[in-house]
Amino acid sequence: MNYNRRPPAAKTSRHRSRCSLLTLLTFLTFLTVLSLIPLSSLAQTVDADISSYPVPADMSGIHFYLITVDVGDRVWDNFGHTALRVYDENTNTDTVFNWGVFDISGGMVSFSWDFFKGIMNYRLATSTPTDLFAMYRSQERTVWQDKLNLSNPQKEILFRRLMWNLEPENVVYAYQYFFDNCTTKVRDYIDEALSGKLRQHYDGSTADTFRDQVRSHYQSVSLVSFSLDVLMNSNIDRPVTEWEAMYLPLQLRDRLANITSDVAENGEQMKLLSDSQLIMVYPAPQVETDGYRVASLVLLTPILFLMLMLKRIPQSYFATHSKIGLKAAGINFRILGLLGLLTAIFSGVYGTLMLGSWFVSDHVDTYHNVNLLLFWPTDLLGVVIALRWLILCRPWPMTHNSAPFISYYLLAHVLAMLVFAVIAFAELSAQSVSNIAIYVLPGFFLFTALIWLVGFEPAKPKKMFF
């Protein structure tokens, strides 16, 4: 069959079509990453009555095809995409049904704020195969097409379900990344046509957690992988069931390929998928350096260097008293300032997103996050202090009023780090934090100790005038 056969032109709008993470990671990229959608919510079961929707008289002329798109090299492409193609040889129409469409006509700011609050309204749209394949060719993503071998009664169920879904009141749905996305729509509709055979066949559990899958799919975007690992809580650390794993396009295709069809050919039962075509093929995205190793290197290398630059500075006002400073202050305080800006921004933003979403958003995967012991929203105040180190190349001057606050703040950070270490290495939490404890915690601890030593100028005794 010519996959470029075009049906009557489908209407298009200011919608962008992508599946799997879509705006999620676009928004995460611009705001140093947000969160995932709630794991506690389950997709609604397909149970609406569809018996009243008409079907073509000759269902043998209706052919369904599974369209599977491989991952791409951009943050919104890293989980792939799934669509359904319906070719009617009676009317010579060829239509792709795509559930990965969202509307940003209200502006990116409005869309991003709704997304942060957990309002994600996606919709079904149709297009021609020519348009769909052209888009993925421009993105250089591999695309497979497989024929679905369904009996005529099964085709009727699937056809009616698609007609029901095209009704204006049914087009929009509440997107949930793991449980209700472009791929799970196809999975659920095929399972309905098979009278639950797919779900019955895959009723076990996998060896992976949702965190494992997120890490695996973002190996080509190390910053996103690292940030999501920090922001996600214990909700995503449970094993994924075989049924749930089919939210991934490639997993759905693999599992459907192992199902036996009710259709026989030459007296032999066929597989559910056949006539596989590789529409286009491109190289897979390259794996980047592990984000944790980068974070550890960026933190520890300058800290260890600065510790070698420590020196004792005698104080004239008290013969036995001295403080710790830095050699070559003009260079080393700039290094300290750059490191301070980096840690303050990342820690403050991560902490703000985790704590803020707890009160504002429906993204429960960032609630009750153990990583809040390390990443504090108030660390953003450190940007001002780091800028002084960077520009003036000298410690931040403390007063008698500010000195206790700064000392207690740093002490509280140290104590929180120690508590985090106990939780991580004693495995007292269901949340996976071992990577953060191994690669990030040592650098955070040493940096806190370093700025406590050299980053602040002690307040002079009240009787000292210069």
Determine the 3-state secondary structure of 221 from DSSP. Answer: coil
pLDDT, tens digit, for every residue of 281-317?
Answer: 999 888 888 889 999 999 999 999 999 999 987 765 5
Hey, what are 437's tokens?
């404890």
Range name among 74-83, 104-113, 252-261, 329-338 with the lowest pLDDT average: 104-113
Compute the C-alpha angle 125/252/234, nearest 5°: 95
Mean pLDDT computed over 402-414: 95
Does the pTM exceed 0.85?
Answer: no
Give residue limits of the domains in the chain.
15-280, 291-457
Task: Summarize the confidence of residues 330-348 as an average pLDDT.
Answer: 97
Strands (E), 70-142: 81-88, 93-103, 121-127
Question: Do the Cβ atoms of 32 and 227 come closer than 8 Å?
Answer: yes
For residues 430-435, average pLDDT: 96
Report whether 41 contacts 65 (CB < 8 A): no
Q: What confidence score (pLDDT) does residue 105 get? A: 67
From 76-80, 176-180, 442-446, the region with the lowest mean pLDDT: 76-80
Strands 93-103 and 62-69: unpaired
Residue with tokens 């597989």: 271
How much is the mean pLDDT over the chain?
86
Q: 201-250, pLDDT tens digit by residue? A: 999 999 999 999 999 888 888 888 999 999 999 999 999 999 999 999 99
Number of H helices, E strands in the chain: 15, 16
Indicate if the pLDDT at residue 21 is higher than 80: no
Residues for the chain: how many in total? 466
Give the β-pairing of 456-457 and 396-397.
parallel
